[in-house]
Structure 1
């Protein structure tokens, strides 16, 4: 059975031009910072005028040993996307959550017991 890994890549835009800020503002509705969806392609959210961004990724892996690789790939995808769009960034950090390690609440335990 696979494991779902959620990766959050955070950082800051670094010295965006007025044209770049305009592009980001024009697309901001599609990149709502309060949205918490995790996708294989990565969901980009940002908060302007503050220069922060977050990419959220989800990936399935076979074992816990595969989790560090997910973090590396996700950060590389986020950095590549920013570079491809010409957005300079800094202070990039990555956080992973192996969903198999997250404790289930009462409702989740009941569901797990029903399907066991």
Structure 2
């Protein structure tokens, strides 16, 4: 199961999926990004600190969110990756497209 906690400020949305980001819950993340961007929060940070597992569907939801945010003139960043999630990102070479940040504050600053 995944819990999705959303914090928003100004034009930024911080999404915090918890648990396993799989085919079953990828749609929840897509919907949260859709809502954030639709509400004018085009800068999205996905805090993956409590996401212990991500499969290709979860990764697809993140990449889809990146595309949506950029088309709206913003960006999507990921932060606080667990080792398994980082491995998936590295194996797919998407760590070059979705640069992982150590924490949400770093992602917000773009450090």
TM-score, normalisation: structure 1:
0.29
Q: Which has the larger radius of gyration?
A: 1
Considering Cα pairs closer than 8 Å and 6+ residues apart, tell me whether 1 or 2 has the greater RCO: 1
